Chain A
Amino acid sequence: MRALGIDIGSLSTKAIILDGNHIVASSIIATDEETELSAKAAVDEVLKQAGISLDDGVFIVSTGVGGKNVSLSQQSKSLTTCLARGVHRLFPSVRMSIDLGAESSTVIKVSDRGRLNDWVNQDKCAAGTGIFLQQMAKLMQMPLDEMAGLSLEAKGRADITSTCAVFAESEVISHVHREPPTPKEDIVAGIYYSVVSRVISLCKRIGIEGDVAVTGGVGLNKGLVKILEDELGLSVLVPEQPQLVAALGAAVVAQESIDKGVNG
């Protein structure tokens, strides 16, 4: 029996197959309007990569925004539980993990057994999320990768509000159009700082301790991670594919169920 985890995010759906401790295959696809279709596509892709079919015996655990509505899965678990399991599998020393997703930021505390000890999230406003950064990239008329690189060259930091995505947009426009205009790299650094300051406030709310990891698609943004490290005053651990961590955690939960002999 293989363990398969699916994480349905608002922008992308991820799937991972585990065989014991081994990651056999992984897939990332854009999330469709229909959760079920996204889940099926991600599962088909990962099964194809692994060279197996559902008939070969697969235990599926789903998580994420539409995780409960996936008919393919035998179990669903909350994102926070899966993040804790996934981070622990990759970095057993981590006690706090920051998940920067497309539509929400979540900070979790992880026990030495990979269990969720506490969490806090912000999901009331786009400020501090991946979608906010995408909007800012459009406004700055440059790809996200370029923005990340540019921020590393910043000598200053533009003041951007950390409380509201809509206000932040107006502020960026005013920085671009003022005379003389604020340097682009400083504007980008300011945008990232506004995200980071929200995230750090979440971290402090549950108490920063132990090694810290960053997961979620925004974890790929080196410029933002650098500012996060500077503000936290410590180095953070970022997996090679940070957007896959929740799917990995779901697969770990599936593996635990298989080990316990649980049938869907």
Chain B
Amino acid sequence: MTVPETERSKISAIMRACRVINRMNQANPDAPKSEGLYYKMLSDYYTRLLNAHDEGKFIAAHTVFFPSEILYAMDIVPMHTEMTTWMIALFLGGQAEILSAGAELGLVPEICSPHRGLAGAFSLGALPRPDAMLWSNLICDNTAKSGELIMEMKKCPGFFLDHPFQRSETEDKYLISELEDMIGFLEGKSGRKMDWDKLSDIVAKMDRQIELFREIGELRKAVPSPFPNRGFLQLLTVDYLCPGQQDAIDYLEALRDELAEMVREKKGAVSPERFRLMTLFVPPMYLIGFMEKIGREHGAISVVEPLFTRWAEGRLDPSRPLESVAKKAAMIPERRSMYGPLGQEALQDLIDCAEQYRVDGAVYWAFMGCRHTCATVKLFKDLLNEVDVPMLTIDCDIVDPTINSEDEIREKLEQFFELLEDR
């Protein structure tokens, strides 16, 4: 079965955009090597997806925070639904079209926009038809419900992976049994067998990836901080799309080396560095260029994102691959503050981040579609106030540009910078 033309056009456009950026980078002698590797990684991911059916491969669509290491180990082509929808919005400016298609499915604006968007994107035929849909309750109910909707729309089989809220020996065993069931489901539907040696290799690489994330996090503590504002979203993309993949390691190693050199030379991503910010949740993705610009204008730099870039302690063990995949689900940064009860560990980490990264102020991007996360706004604000870190809350949407204008966000950020400067 070949991929229909509508689907090809969107995915091809993402690939073309990545290639254009790469050509521009190649023409710029000052462009960092990591940038080239990042866009090549993206382009390769979407090339694999685009060619999957032509090459007789099985496509498994999956929601965010899903253990796609297992798919890679089975030679199944993963399609990260939220990320691919974000890419359509980011590279093609297609938010209005996909959100409108989501609205036509009855998904109201209060529902998480990436999920409205991914349903809309499937409905428009902008994403390849999956051979199976995989989804889980990590990290929210939107995720849990999106899978069923897509299964129904695309008439494909699906598997729901149930993650327990807490960690204990019993719950770890339960998650491992869920993973085993999922592997059985995938083997049955795809006709492919799990390659356990390959999974071990991927787990070893994932362990290396996590170490690199931590090393990059350490380098960002430097004053001035070497990591640009847009870099945070690139780190997310790496983990979401290419866990345990060599191209992800190549990118992260290049990035780590570049940052280390900048730290040695005392070079910052913005100069002069005036405001070191903690980013809570995610700024609107369609404003990435704007965030870079305003950062340069005011010397403002995001140095840490506790909800997204702080991996929990622990190592993965390639000799116990399935246990390691389950363990990784417990170590991901997003889980600590956004899934299940908010424990003391998450709150303490916020304080540790403020101190270790010498944060001047925090910006909470209160994404209205992620209500369970936004319930922490007051808790976080009060906690940060205790360590004399002011927090700005900006109500926003991470995908839908109709909620805030760039001018409105600029005005709020500039007021906040004045507040910080005046202290």
A26 at the interface (CB under 8 A from B): no
Contact of A78 among B390, B393, B415 (CB under 8 A): B415
Q: List 13 A-B contacts (CB under 8 A).
A: A77-B418, A78-B411, A78-B415, A79-B415, A80-B418, A80-B419, A81-B415, A81-B418, A81-B419, A115-B422, A116-B419, A119-B415, A120-B393
- What is the minimal beta-carbon distance from A116 to any residue of chain B, in angstroms? 5
With a CB–CB cut-off of 8 A, which chain A residues contact B152?
none
A118 at the interface (CB under 8 A from B): yes
| A78, B420: Cα distance in complex, Å | 13
| A118, B422: Cα distance in complex, Å | 12
> Is A118 a contact partner of B415 (Cβ separation < 8 A)?
no
A221 at the interface (CB under 8 A from B): no
B414 at the interface (CB under 8 A from A): yes
How many chain B residues sit at the interface, stated as a range, is: 10 to 19
Residue of B nearest to A123 (CB): B408
Contacts of B43-58 to chain A: CB distance below 8 A:
none
> Is B390 a contact partner of A80 (Cβ separation < 8 A)?
no
> Is B415 a contact partner of A115 (Cβ separation < 8 A)?
no
| A80, B417: Cα distance in complex, Å | 12
Give me the interface of B with A, judged by CB distance under 8 Å. Answer: 390, 393, 408, 411, 414-415, 418-419, 422-423
With a CB–CB cut-off of 8 A, which chain A residues contact B422?
81, 115-116
With a CB–CB cut-off of 8 A, which chain B residues contact A119?
415, 419
- What is the minimal beta-carbon distance from A174 to any residue of chain B, in angstroms? 27
5 extra interchain contacts, Cβ-Cβ under 8 A, other than A80-B419, A118-B390, A123-B408?
A115-B422, A116-B415, A116-B419, A119-B415, A119-B419
**Looking at B390, B414, B415, which has the most chain A CB atoms within 10 Å of its CB?**
B415
For chain B, what secondary structure do more than half of its interface residues adopt (helix, strand, loop), or is it mixed?
Answer: helix
A117 at the interface (CB under 8 A from B): yes
- What is the minimal beta-carbon distance from A82 to any residue of chain B, in angstroms? 10
| A120, B390: Cα distance in complex, Å | 13
Q: Which 5 A-B pairs have the closest CB atoms?
A: A78-B415, A115-B422, A81-B418, A116-B419, A78-B418
| A118, B419: Cα distance in complex, Å | 8
> Is B414 a contact partner of A78 (Cβ separation < 8 A)?
yes
> Is B415 a contact partner of A80 (Cβ separation < 8 A)?
yes
Residue of B nearest to A84 (CB): B422
With a CB–CB cut-off of 8 A, which chain A residues contact B419?
80-81, 115-119
With a CB–CB cut-off of 8 A, which chain B residues contact A81?
415, 418-419, 422
Residue of A nearest to B422 (CB): A115
With a CB–CB cut-off of 8 A, which chain A residues contact B390?
117-118
With a CB–CB cut-off of 8 A, which chain A residues contact B408?
123
- What is the minimal beta-carbon distance from B370 to any residue of chain A, in angstroms? 19
- What is the minimal beta-carbon distance from A43 to any residue of chain B, in angstroms? 23
| A119, B394: Cα distance in complex, Å | 12
Contact of B423 among A78, A115, A120 (CB under 8 A): A115
Contacts of A92-145 to chain B: CB distance below 8 A:
115-120, 123
| A120, B415: Cα distance in complex, Å | 11
Residue of A nearest to B408 (CB): A123
| A39, B166: Cα distance in complex, Å | 60
With a CB–CB cut-off of 8 A, which chain B residues contact A118?
390, 419
With a CB–CB cut-off of 8 A, which chain A residues contact B393?
120
